[in-house]
Amino acid sequence: MNSGMISLTTLLTGIYTGFSFRSGVKDEPGGDLSVIQMKDLENDYSSINPHLTRIRSGKINRHRVYLEKGDVLFVAKGSNNFAIEYRLDLARAIASSAFFVLRPDYAKIVPAYLAWYINQPPAQQFLKTNMAGTYVPNINKSTLEDIVIAVPPQAAQEKIVVIDQLRKKEQLLVGRIMEKRGLAIRRALLDIVNN
């Protein structure tokens, strides 16, 4: 499985900044545009809550790039700079300014693999080393563009994605089992105390 190290920018058709709202994003009845915010990331940044805040697109006064399935959302603000593939089936959605939107070139890289690789120690170490800001750490666009990605053949990328998804499912199931086991033990111990 030969992997070539390739610059992120050569694997993309574009990098876009999320939309900057002047004030907080408030849900609007009849809104036709979904907004992905940091609060919508779940399960250690591995999924996006599908119940997003909706706004009226008329409030967005300049042309924005709407998200497409396969885009990779990169968390640019804060100390957890992870990436996640956008897979929701929504008519119109945008990302907030906490994100960069990476649009992969599908002929060169599998989107879920790109997100996976950015989340791995080599890329994360590069990001931490080149982080800007003191009060609110952030990753600027030029730092993001400087990441190099190990790119094996697409079949290998797809296998890596499947194995990683199975690992995440296993973690969730083990967590639920431990939770239920803990509850059963607490109940058993309380039964001993109450008898």
- Distance between CA atoms of 82 and 46, rounded to whole angstroms? 9
Q: Roughly how many angstroms between the first and final C-alpha of the chain, as a whole number?
A: 62
Number of Cβ atoms within 10 Å of the Cβ of 94: 20
- What is the structure's pLDDT at 57? 81
- What is the structure's pLDDT at 43? 79
- What is the structure's pLDDT at 61? 57
Domain membership flag for residue 157: no
**Residue 19 belongs to domain with CATH number:** 3.90.220.20
Q: Concatenated DSSP letters for 78-122?
A: SS---EEE-----SSEEEBTTEEEEEE-TTT--HHHHHHHHTSHH
Q: β-strands 33-36, 93-95: how paired?
A: parallel
Domain membership flag for residue 170: no
* Number of domains making up the chain: 1
The whole-model pTM stands at 0.86
pLDDT of the chain along its 195 residues, tens only? Answer: 557 899 999 999 999 999 888 777 888 888 888 999 999 998 777 889 888 999 988 777 565 678 999 999 999 998 889 999 999 988 889 999 999 999 999 999 999 999 999 999 999 999 999 988 778 889 999 999 999 999 999 999 999 999 999 998 898 899 899 999 999 999 999 989 987
Domain membership flag for residue 93: yes
Domain carrying residue 105 = 4-152
Domain membership flag for residue 163: no
Burial class (CB in 10 A: 0-12, 13-18, 19+), 192: exposed
**Number of helical H runs and strand E runs in the chain:** 4, 11
Domain membership flag for residue 106: yes
Beta strands in the chain (DSSP E): 4-7, 12-17, 33-36, 41-42, 47-48, 53-55, 72-75, 83-85, 93-95, 99-104, 148-151
Domain membership flag for residue 184: no
Domain membership flag for residue 161: no
CA distances from 33 to 20, 57, 67, 168, 178 (A): 15, 6, 11, 30, 39
